[in-house]
Amino acid sequence: MKKPIQILAEDAACDSMDGASIDDMAACLKLLGDRTRLTIIALLKQSPLCVCDIAAALGTSQPNVSQHLKKMKAAGLLEEHRKGQWIYYSICEQNTLYLQAILAELPSIGASINQSACE
């Protein structure tokens, strides 16, 4: 009979889990495994954006972006804030340590958004 692998408390991998279950991590990483969602996260890392700004930066439709944002918001990756009639999305500040590590490694996106496409 094989012995289960034991993770020591001082192991760095233990710290990065910070209470998240394997299922939670797998679901989150599956969401971020999509190129479009990862690109959206990289854009939002720079500043909060509305759907139309993200759609313009990605060259895709607003409904497509909205579906991706809906899934990421439901998973707790994003927050939304209303400014007038527009809803701006930003990365949830209370992310787990493993998500913070992913965010730190994301490259900056060359597409800078100077003026809102919504206005």
Q: How would DSSP label each residue in 24-84?
A: HHHHHHHHHTSHHHHHHHHHHHHS-EEHHHHHHHHTS-HHHHHHHHHHHHHTTSEEEEEET
Q: Residues 19-70: pLDDT tens digits?
A: 678 888 888 889 999 999 999 999 999 899 999 999 999 999 999 999 999 9
Q: What fold is seen in the domain 32-105?
A: Arc Repressor Mutant, subunit A (1.10.10)
**Amino acid at site 9:** A
Q: What is the DSSP letter of 14?
A: H
Is residue 17 predicted with pLDDT exceeding 90?
Answer: no
pLDDT one-digit tens code per residue, 68-104: 999 999 988 999 999 999 999 999 887 778 788 888 8
Task: Please report, for the chain, the start and end positions of each structural domain, with discontinuous segments joined by +.
Answer: 32-105
Does position 107 have pLDDT exceeding 50, yes or no? yes
| pTM of structure | 0.75
